[in-house]
Amino acid sequence: MSITRRLLGKAALGLAGAALLMQGTALAAERPAPFDKPGVKIALVRYLSTGDFFQAYLSGVEAQAKALGVDLRVLDSRQDAALQADMVDQAIALGVQGIIIQHGLTESMKDAAQRAVDAGIKVVAFDVNVENPKIPQIEQSDRDLARLALEQAVKDNGDSWKAGYVYVAGIAPLDRRNETWVDVKKKNAGISEVAMFGTLDNPIANSVANQARSVLQAHPDINVMFAPYDEFAKGVKIAVDEAGLNKKIKIYSADISTSDISAMREPDSAWAATAATNPAVVGQVSVRALAQLLAGEDPGHNVIVPPTLITQKELVDKDIKNMEDLSAKLPQFAHADVAMPAWMPNPNAK
């Protein structure tokens, strides 16, 4: 009973807060319908939710929803594909005007997304292809992520090096990053991949560290490690440190978190650079694209959030210690000018 009451209280507070915000914002009236009035309801239907990335994504969705003054419902299926499809129906029954589908499986979400569209609801999808021309796809560009990191590797090490590569096939973002790696290898004959390894056994960093140690033993000539996922990079860094090779090997990766930043900032850290998209920005863009649809505008079918290159030097020079510093001191990381019509409130504006 007490829980229900507390929840009700929270909901009431949230509504009151939203109403207050709407009154306080003079500009609100200039927004196109339906955002000229409070009371727009949207739902976020999630497939993946545990981990730093998804936490940050959610915070971005919440921030943009708050800035727009819309009522956000979060439905979390916790990696249950069937439940996620049911949750779309649940959201339809709740009477929401817009739905964001966050991850999931094409097979299970395609029909559910179509049902929502048939019910007159606007839908956007993040990182799951629902194969529907009416549904914009929000993407962080994995190919660009890999490209930025590898360009930096070529800049630092020339175009001739021996690489260790960490990869697990069958994971969509890693597969897309792999395409770029294959491409870069083809174009640069001097880059040779002497070892490929990788595992998703968790804790991933620990398992990858074990593998990387063996690889370094077998191939002492490696001077660059390409680990296009930060958990991989953490594992490789542990192995490189344990082998005492941190001055000889450079690590290039993708993604970023507070703990990655501290690992990159360590004195003589082997982790040279990473390319990352701010998950919070991806969350904001998801809501903005949906809002554009609701306002009758077209955000385009592929809404791509561009990544940022983050080097060790920048982190040290600008004294960036965590994700907040990163957003504050690298403006291109904090905000993407994607799905930003003039009327759209910017949640990052202070």
**CA 122/CA 76 separation, integer angstroms:** 19
3-state secondary structure (DSSP) of residue 96: coil
Residue number with CB closer to other proteins (98 or 347) = 347
Let me know: does 165 contact 191? Beta carbons within 8 Å. Answer: no
Provide the minimum distance between the beta carbon of 18 and other proteins in the complex, in angstroms, as a whole number.
20
| Residues 6 or more apart whose Cβ sits within 8 Å of residue 226 | 149, 150, 153, 163, 164, 165, 166, 181, 252, 253
CB of 323 to other proteins, least distance (A): 7
Cα separation, 135 vs 129, in Å, equals 9
- Closer CB to other proteins, 83 or 295, in the complex: 83
Q: Considering the complex, state which of residue 227 and residue 338 has its C-beta at the smaller distance from other proteins.
A: 227
CB of 116 to other proteins, least distance (A): 28
How far apart are CB 344 and other proteins at their closest, in Å?
25
Query: What is the rounded CA–CA span in Å between residue 225 and residue 35?
Result: 48
Taking the complex as a whole, how short is the minimal distance between the CB of residue 293 and other proteins, in angstroms?
A: 30
Nearer to other proteins, 292 or 312 (CB): 312
- Compare residues 49 and 292 and give the one whose CB is closer to other proteins: 49
Q: How far apart are CA 77 and CA 81, in angstroms?
A: 7
CB of 49: closest distance to other proteins in angstroms?
8
Q: Which residues pair with 140 in a beta bridge?
A: 305
Q: Are 88 and 45 in contact (CB under 8 A)?
A: yes
Nearer to other proteins, 109 or 236 (CB): 236
Contacts of residue 186, defined as CB under 8 A and 6 or more positions apart, other chains included, come to none
Q: How far apart are CA 104 and CA 124, in angstroms?
A: 13
Between 191 and 205, CB nearer to other proteins: 205
Nearest residue to 56 via CA among 279, 258, 324, 286: 279
Query: Cα angle at 270 between 253 and 53, to 5 degrees?
Result: 35
Binding positions for other proteins, rule: CB under 8 A: 50-52, 55, 168, 195-207, 209-211, 213-215, 217-218, 220, 234, 238, 241-242, 257-259, 261-263, 321-324
Pairing of strands 302-305, 308-311: unpaired
Q: Which is nearer to other proteins, 94 or 218 (CB)?
A: 218
* Helix runs in 158-203, H state only: 172-187
CB of 272 to other proteins, least distance (A): 19
Q: To the nearest whole angstrom, how small is the minimum distance from the Cβ of residue 329 to other proteins? A: 14
